[in-house]
Amino acid sequence: MRRELAGAETRISIERMRYNARVQQYNTSRRQPPGAVTALLFNFRDYPFFLVEVPATAREVPKVESDGQPKR
């Protein structure tokens, strides 16, 4: 279970980095000529980066018992 969770978190992190890299590439290209002219004509907008805002309570590591169920 922990490996699956760690694997899922890793895949999400990798895809978030890939998305942010593509957004940065797009935003940069639409600010430089000739992309700036095209973006102005067709009203292309900048895309925001994907940022993760984690609440303080979510940063706490849950206690897991040996049977794999969360401890309450």
Residue 36 three-state SS: helix
Is residue 65 assigned to a domain? no
Is residue 18 assigned to a domain? yes
Question: pTM, whole model, 2 decimals?
Answer: 0.67
Where is pLDDT greater, at 5 or 26?
26
Q: How far apart are CA 43 and CA 25, in angstroms?
A: 18
Is residue 69 assigned to a domain? no
Is residue 64 assigned to a domain? no
How remote is the C-alpha of 69 from its chain's centroid? 28
pLDDT one-digit tens code per residue, 7-64: 999 999 999 999 999 999 999 999 999 999 999 999 999 999 998 887 877 777 777 7
Is residue 71 assigned to a domain? no
Is residue 11 assigned to a domain? yes
Query: How many domains does one find in the chain?
Result: 1
Residue range(s) defining the domain that contains residue 25: 2-59
Q: How far apart are CA 46 and CA 25, in angstroms?
A: 11
Is residue 19 assigned to a domain? yes
Six token digits for residue 8: 């899922």
